[in-house]
Amino acid sequence: MKKEVIRIFLVLLTWELLLNGCEQKLHLDLNAQSPVLVVNSILMADNDSVRVRVTWTKNVYEQGDFPVEANASVKLYKNNRFVGACQYQKEGWYVIVHHVEATEVYRIEVDIPGRPLVWGETRVPAPLLNASIECDSLQERIINRWTDREEEKNYYWLSSTHSSLNGVPDTLHMELVSYLQTNSTLPDAFNRSFDFDEEIPAEYDYYLRVEDSGLSGKEIELSYKGRRSGYYHWRPDTGCYKSTRFILSLDENYDRYLKSSIVNDDYLSAMDSEPLFYAPLWTYSNIHGGTGLVASYSKYEDLFIQVFTKREE
């Protein structure tokens, strides 16, 4: 009898909490949140400089750009040895002239008087091994070949860019190809638009991601077709058309960040669909004492430029 009374009491208590919970108002003081330092730097193997941007987070209600920090001490280390201090340029950018070496570990430290040290670290991936990119114009395929390195974990991202639409006759405005179609089973399915069909290959948004699990030391071949969004009617009489096809080898930090940001963006774009209740996804950061990203990559690319001349009347 006593157990039955306790059971009934717990049921009534649960209903009381649920009903009262529906009537309670939540008061969120977003202005009480202290700004957090944001440090972003992407290192590319064989580049001759390192760029670091230092800003602050802002309140969700604030308009305009993120506040920049112009009075920080930004230092670069390679394999725990001091390389030098980055010099402030403008708009939160700090720059140091340094040749970025593959397979080395770089650390960026940002120090502001009166605040804890903020830092991030990355190991630059080795150059792609035996890489080549061919274009099969008859089948409109881009054929990518390379050999995976056994000595390190690799995260490969493949895509291509082209001169932007709307009749821009130059090579300064570049866009990623919107959809990549392939029959290969190697790409990660996280950004797959639709699955394999008997006649239509699988389609992916913007990138093909290949993790080297099970591919260690093997030769890899992956071909795809690029499909732009909308229609393409650009027929310039003068100017240039430029396209690049590339294979990126990302460090673990860049891979996690890029994948999480793409998944998050796709998720938030579908907020109007059911279920109505959702939780924003987490975007990866490897910054200690702040937020942002210090990451690196190696790149192999094939460049194509076509020059158009004015037709003679």
pTM beyond 0.95 = no
In whole angstroms, what is the distance from residue 71 CA to residue 69 CA? 6
In whole angstroms, what is the distance from residue 242 CA to residue 224 CA? 19
Query: pLDDT tier at 135 (50, 70, 90 boundaries)?
Result: confident
Residue 152: half-sphere exposure toward Cβ, Cα within 13 Å:
19
pLDDT(95) > 90 = yes
Query: Is the Cβ–Cβ distance between 88 and 54 less than 8 Å?
Result: no
Residues 3-12 have pLDDT tens digits of 454 454 444 4
Q: Of 68, 96, 235, 208, nearest to 144 (Cα)?
A: 208
In whole angstroms, what is the distance from residue 154 CA to residue 251 CA? 7
Query: pLDDT tier at 165 (50, 70, 90 boundaries)?
Result: low
Residues 96-112 have pLDDT tens digits of 999 999 999 999 999 99
Q: Of 296, 287, 295, 297, nearest to 39 (Cα)?
A: 287
In whole angstroms, what is the distance from residue 74 CA to residue 119 CA? 9
| pLDDT cut 90: percent of the chain above it | 52
Residues 38-89 have pLDDT tens digits of 999 999 999 999 999 999 998 767 777 889 999 999 999 999 999 999 999 9
pLDDT on residue 177:
82
Q: Which of 30-39, 85-94, 97-106, 145-154 has the lowest mean pLDDT?
A: 30-39
Residues 253-305 have pLDDT tens digits of 999 999 988 887 765 555 454 444 444 556 789 999 999 999 999 999 998 77
In whole angstroms, what is the distance from residue 207 CA to residue 80 CA? 34
**Which residues are paired to 241 by β-bridges?**
306
In whole angstroms, what is the distance from residue 6 CA to residue 72 CA? 61
pLDDT(168) > 60 = no
In whole angstroms, what is the distance from residue 176 CA to residue 57 CA? 28
What DSSP string runs through the chain? -HHHHHHHHHHHHHHHHHHHHHH------GGGSPP-EEEEEEEETT-SEEEEEEEE---TT--SSPPB--S-EEEEEETTEEEEEPEE-STTEEEEE--PPTT-EEEEEEE-TTS--EEEEEEPPPPPEEEEEEEETTTTEEEEEEE--TTS--EEEEEEEEE-TTT--SSS-EEE-SEEEE--S-S-STTEEE---SSSPEEEES-EEEE-TTTTT-EEEEEEEEE-SS------SSEEEEEEEEEEEE-HHHHHHHHHHHHHHHHHTTTTSSPS---PPPPP---BTSEEEEEEEEEEEEEEEEEE-PPP-
pLDDT on residue 308:
63
Tell me what the pLDDT averaged over the chain comes to. Answer: 81
Question: Looking at per-residue confidence, does 124 or 307 come out higher?
Answer: 124
In whole angstroms, what is the distance from residue 108 CA to residue 116 CA? 14
